[in-house]
A and B are shown apart, each in its own frame.
Chain A
Amino acid sequence: MLFPHSAPSIAETAATPPLEVRGLTVAYNRKPVLWSADYTAPARGLIAIVGPNGAGKSTFIKACLGLVPAVSGTVKVHGGPVAKRRALIGYVPQRETVDWDFPASALDVVAMGRYAMIGWCRPVGRAHKEAARACLDRVGMADFADRQIGQLSGGQQQRVFLARALAQEARVYFMDEPFAGVDAATERAVIQVLRDLDHAGRTVICVHHDLQTVADYFDHVLLLNTRVVAAGPVATTLNAETLRQTYGGRLGPGDVPMAGRDRAPDPGRDLAPLERGVA
């Protein structure tokens, strides 16, 4: 058992899908960045959200979590609205969204994952500090517990974020590009943690930017380009036709499995600033 205590029982939520999205539409400045998205996450397996820049991948996650307002649509996590399922939800934002000069140690940041469990106005007790330390250990960062977070490398910072998510002891994890800009050691650490979570029955939904590793790391894929293009098991969903629909037939030469094309302007480029505006 990965988490010995305090996680809600798996049996009580087993009958409902981890994430159920219906007609989710999000617009920034009246321009839709996500258009009537429907998605039901499978009970088992790691899930990747894939699509070009500006396709609404981060927006999809943020709208699911209620961090950006949706124009319309419903989101259910294990059968209930997000507001009533917060204890089941873990979140790893993009690394650039926070100020790493903040006067906090790696351990302080990981302990933040337990603030909801600790409750209002109470200090972080010894038991929670130990739990946070154990999570740092799981991502190979135990030796850096007392280091100020700005003194860590990008990959180490990403692992601190992952440890914080582990400390949340959630059932459904939303991760925004956990592999972005990390070193090889961190990439291995991250994928190991994701697989452990999967084996422990947790749901992990990752925005993922690297088409080459989707099939290696993930079991399911959600192809997104403002609309949901396709969703399902990687083996049957990720093919030349769906990728062409997602990326508009303009993949770069490095973006296997559709090799051999000239690098063309990013189809989602005009929407990218809108998405960054709320990041």
Chain B
Amino acid sequence: MITTQEFLQIDLPAMTAAVLACVCCALVGNFLVLRRQSLLGDAISHAILPGIVAGFLITGTRAGLPVILGALAAAVIAGVLIEAVRRFGRLDGGAAMGVVFTVMFAGGVVLIEQGAARAVDLDADCVLYGQLEAILWLAPQTWADLADPAVWADLPRQVVTLALVTLLCVVCVVAFAKELAITSFDPALATTLGIPAGLFHHAVVVLVAIAAIASFEAVGSILVVAMLICPAATARLLTDRLPVQLWLSVAIGGLTGAGGYLLGAFGPSILAGGPADALNAAGMIATLAGVLLTAAILFAPRHGVLARNRPRHRGAAGHQMGKDVVSDAVTH
């Protein structure tokens, strides 16, 4: 069994980072699902890669402003390119996004190979499933140490960044709950009321980009994509009220993050009855998110497959809804 010290120094910071990444992505992901723009999350989380790598190659460090600026620049370039491909290539929005984000992601991978050739500490693996195991908190040794403020000053950079970004997402969603709802549901009415729907669309994209960038290094692109869509889609199947959906998705995201991490870290040794290799945490979390979504698709009280096939509760509208959310979700 692991010691308290190992748990505090290795597992607690990694799990906290995973939970925070899941929570912030899950929260902003609601507005992608509600706007039927789930693919946009996919596009953003992949298109930022060349920016991150470029920032990294220039400064030689994964930390700090250059990487974030590079990622943001890449997101903006992706937006411009998608619009250009859509207009001049006469493609629909989905196709334009698909083309641009795969090309940019591929460009990022090529850049990483260049970096690897120069013996830089960045590889394709950590792009896909992050580096949760690299998040260490060396200060605390026993539970009692957590009462010491000096220990908190030594909190890993990734955890601090993710905590701030999560706070930013929560504040934005709470403050602009009403405006986000109306611009998602009926942008034309919002515009006539003086609430700029276009501006909010861009604000959602920027918020998704920020959440994706902050989460990327810790949990990698697979988990970012999964967390932008799965918790929101799961929560949508469980409720018909927007505020409930938002908080439910946050809870699902957080529990998936913690549960997936613990399963990955301790599941194998418990199953084997002795020391065993841990599973990849990010992969485990994303898998768990998929399992939860599948369970919701099957067993959700109103919109689940079983409930809909029960004759008494059948409603044509509910039928349609379940299908749409699922088709949004299974494209990922």
Which residue on B lies nearest to A91, using beta carbons? B192
- Residues of the A chain whose Cβ atoms lie less than 8 Å from the Cβ of B177: 123
Which residues of B are in contact with A by a Cβ distance under 8 Å?
Answer: 34, 36, 175-179, 181-182, 184-186, 188-195, 236, 239-242, 244-245, 315, 317-318, 320-321, 324-325
Cβ contacts A to B, 27 pairs, < 8 Å: A62-B188, A65-B191, A66-B191, A67-B191, A67-B192, A89-B192, A91-B188, A91-B189, A91-B192, A101-B324, A102-B34, A103-B236, A103-B244, A104-B242, A105-B241, A112-B181, A112-B186, A115-B178, A115-B182, A115-B195, A116-B195, A118-B178, A123-B178, A148-B240, A148-B317, A151-B317, A168-B193
Which A residues are within 8 Å of any B CB, using their own CB? Answer: 62, 65-67, 86, 89, 91, 93, 97-105, 108-109, 112-113, 115-116, 118, 120-124, 148, 150-152, 164, 168
Give, as a whole number of angstroms, the nearest-CB distance from A203 to chain B. 15
Could you tell me if B176 and A121 are in contact, using CB atoms closer than 8 angstroms?
yes
Contacts of A103 in B (CB 8 A): 34, 236, 239-242, 244-245
What is the CB-to-nearest-CB distance from A168 to chain B, in angstroms, rounded to a whole number? Answer: 8
- Contact partner, B240, options A105, A113, A115, Cβ 8 Å: A105
Partner of B189, one of A108, A112, A120, A123: A112
Known contacts A65-B188, A115-B190, A151-B315; 20 additional CB pairs below 8 A are A62-B188, A67-B191, A91-B192, A93-B188, A93-B189, A98-B186, A99-B34, A101-B317, A101-B321, A102-B242, A103-B34, A103-B242, A112-B186, A112-B189, A115-B178, A115-B195, A120-B176, A148-B317, A150-B320, A151-B318
Name A150's contact: one of B36, B186, B193, B321 (CB within 8 Å).
B321
Please tell me if the beta carbons of A86 and B194 are within 8 angstroms of each other in the complex.
yes
Q: How far is the CA of A115 from the CA of B36 in the complex (A)?
A: 23
**Which of A67, A101, A124, A168 has its CB near the most chain B CB atoms (within 10 A)?**
A101
Docked Cα-Cα span, A65 to B181, in Å, equals 21
Is the pair A101, B195 in contact by a Cβ cutoff of 8 Å? no
User: Which residue of B190, B315, B317, B320 has the most chain A CB atoms within 10 A of its CB atom?
Assistant: B317
Cα(A115)–Cα(B175), bound, Å: 14
Check if B185 sits within 8 Å of A104, measured CB to CB: yes
Residue of A100, A102, A103 with highest tally of chain B CB at under 10 A: A103
Taking CB atoms, residues of chain B closer than 8 Å to A148 are 240, 317
Q: Which of B192, B245, B315 contacts A86 (CB 8 A)?
A: B192
Contacting residues, chain B, for A122 (C-beta < 8 A): 178
CA gap between A100 and B185 in the complex, in Å: 8
Question: Cβ of B185 and Cβ of A109 under 8 Å apart?
Answer: yes
List 6 A-B pairs, minimum CB-CB distance, nearest first: A148-B240, A150-B317, A116-B193, A101-B321, A91-B192, A86-B194
Nearest B residue (CB) for A97: B188
Q: Which residues of A contact B244 (CB under 8 A)?
A: 103
Cβ-neighbour of A99 out of B179, B185, B191, B245 (below 8 A): B185
